[in-house]
Chains A and B, each alone.
Chain A
């Protein structure tokens, strides 16, 4: 296990773990039964990815339940509270487009002799890319329905896209051990998201995609306020029974 694989596994693994948890909060609250199934399905895919990645970096449960807030390496986007359905969908659109482009590149990368680290991420990406293509499609379909639905759904979707925009720059801060062209990834992401927003009759938000306060902060273990509460809930039972197995 090299240090850079460890860094990569924690960043990508924490993204998947934290977003999976947020989607799990929807169970029993979705607007329609089909979305109970879809949101749980996406949450499960992400949890599966998280378990593989965290296991590369150590013991999955120790990493999930015994690290404190400052040790988590997820981007701030995925820890944002669910908000209304539009907010959840905007977060999904931004994140699943990023994941699809990233895993697509990792899966397609040419193998380099003797680079086991690259092979490990390539194998993981090859499996995950099929899942995240489905997630991206789901988010895109809902972005179209909400953006080009009723005046109320359009307004809610626009507000959600605007509110989360400032967290999207961080996704393209290079992660050590993830060997992709980050600037090209970002340009593709912008093109893809802009195209979907355009088709959904939504404006591409105008504000900055990162601020001096948030740029790369999640990847450094600096998170937003709601994240600590999320971890308190997630970790409480595990921490209450030190050393127990479940």
Chain B
């Protein structure tokens, strides 16, 4: 018996490996290695959590947006983020886990979200800087995920990337308006870029030689490029954009390297990155507390919806068995 099981295990693995090698999509009902499933649940859940926590720094400015047009754009963006969270929880659920379970892991700190959302939005310009840099980094990371080997995740990313690129352009345009505005507005924009630049570079994760999951994820074609490759690509994209914004990037070592055909840039403060990941960033406590509070204070609402649905079901059953005369549809 054992031998047969081992054989079929190998046969399944061979089918899976061949599908991945041929760039075919793995779908929810297909066999997949347990570790592949676990890696995807971890990554997709963390991605979903990031969308949900990521609403907070921007929502912080909805009630203070300086024009009705900007207010509408910002509200639409925060709404999209909730929608992205919903797509991603659905994608994670195809792997056999529930949204409630994932939210519970977020609330108890057992699953993480992107370190970037632990930084505060201190001025209106931060909303523009988040759009340009944070969404820009997210897109650089996520566009390759549209070709990820797991079908539901790849398809969610196609939809998400379309909306994210729109947000990124709006963020750039908001910064442009500030940069070309009054001296005070220009200064506000520069200050925001100074504060968001390095945390944005950290969004690509630890350097390649310290990245625990990279090699396996690349072999499984969940990841297509290394952290450092994507980070370099992002820096190369941002430099000319910063020039046309007439803003500087806060890195004295940033310069074009003719030989490499890329920009060289300064050292990232990995000690800060690790502190933020450990929960010691400027807003970690505040972000998770707000999320928990929204969830806890909403418990009676969710209980009411469940109780109402149960009553409706009972009424329908009652109608079907002829016990009550009144239709409840």
Residues on A lying within 8 angstroms of B by beta carbon are 17, 21, 24-25, 27-37, 40-41, 43-44, 47-48, 50-51, 54, 60-61, 64-65, 84-85, 144-146, 148-150, 152-153, 156, 233-234, 236-238, 241, 243-246
| CB <8 Å contact, A29 and B72 | no
> Which of B89, B294, B305 contacts A30 (CB under 8 A)?
B294
A-B contact number at CB 8 A? 141
Q: A25-B63, A28-B59, A37-B86 are in contact. List 15 more A-B contacts (CB 8 A).
A: A24-B75, A29-B290, A30-B294, A34-B86, A44-B72, A47-B68, A85-B301, A146-B304, A152-B304, A153-B300, A153-B303, A241-B185, A244-B182, A244-B185, A246-B177
Could you list 20 examples of A-B contacts with CB < 8 Å? Answer: A29-B293, A30-B298, A32-B298, A32-B302, A32-B305, A44-B75, A47-B75, A50-B68, A51-B68, A61-B67, A84-B297, A144-B308, A152-B303, A152-B304, A234-B63, A236-B64, A238-B66, A241-B184, A245-B177, A246-B69
Interfacial chain A residues near B75, Cβ < 8 Å = 24, 27, 40, 43-44, 47
Interfacial chain B residues near A245, Cβ < 8 Å = 67, 177, 181
B113 within 8 A of A: no
| CB <8 Å contact, B83 and A37 | yes
Interface of B is mostly: helix
Assuming the contacts A28-B294, A30-B298, A40-B79, asked whether A145 and B67 have C-beta atoms less than 8 A apart, the reply is: no
Assuming the contacts A36-B79, A47-B75, A61-B67, asked whether A150 and B55 have C-beta atoms less than 8 A apart, the reply is: no
Q: Which residue of B lies closest to A44 (CB)?
A: B75
- Kindly state the separation between the CA atoms of A25 and B71 in the bound complex, as whole angstroms: 12
B56 within 8 A of A: yes
| CB <8 Å contact, A149 and B308 | yes
Interfacial chain B residues near A29, Cβ < 8 Å = 290, 293-294, 297
- Kindly state the separation between the CA atoms of A35 and B184 in the bound complex, as whole angstroms: 37
B76 within 8 A of A: yes
- Kindly state the separation between the CA atoms of A241 and B189 in the bound complex, as whole angstroms: 14
Q: How would residues 37 to 69 of chain B score, 1 for a CB under 8 Å from any chain A CB and 0 otherwise?
A: 000000000000000100110010011111111
| CB <8 Å contact, A60 and B301 | no
Residues on B lying within 8 angstroms of A by beta carbon are 52, 55-56, 59, 62-72, 75-76, 78-79, 82-83, 85-86, 89, 124, 174, 177-178, 181-182, 184-185, 290, 293-295, 297-308, 311
- Kindly state the separation between the CA atoms of A32 and B299 in the bound complex, as whole angstroms: 9
Assuming the contacts A27-B78, A64-B68, A150-B303, asked whether A237 and B124 have C-beta atoms less than 8 A apart, the reply is: yes
Q: Which residue of B lies closest to A21 (CB)?
A: B63
A-B residue pairs, 3 tightest by C-beta:
A31-B298, A149-B304, A153-B304
| CB <8 Å contact, B304 and A150 | yes
| CB <8 Å contact, A33 and B52 | yes
Q: How far is the CB of A29 from chain B (nearest CB, A)?
A: 5
Interfacial chain A residues near B63, Cβ < 8 Å = 21, 24-25, 233-234
Q: How far is the CB of B163 from chain A (nearest CB, A)?
A: 13
Interfacial chain A residues near B300, Cβ < 8 Å = 150, 152-153, 156
Q: Which residue of A lies closest to B177 (CB)?
A: A246
- Kindly state the separation between the CA atoms of A146 and B298 in the bound complex, as whole angstroms: 12
| CB <8 Å contact, B82 and A149 | no
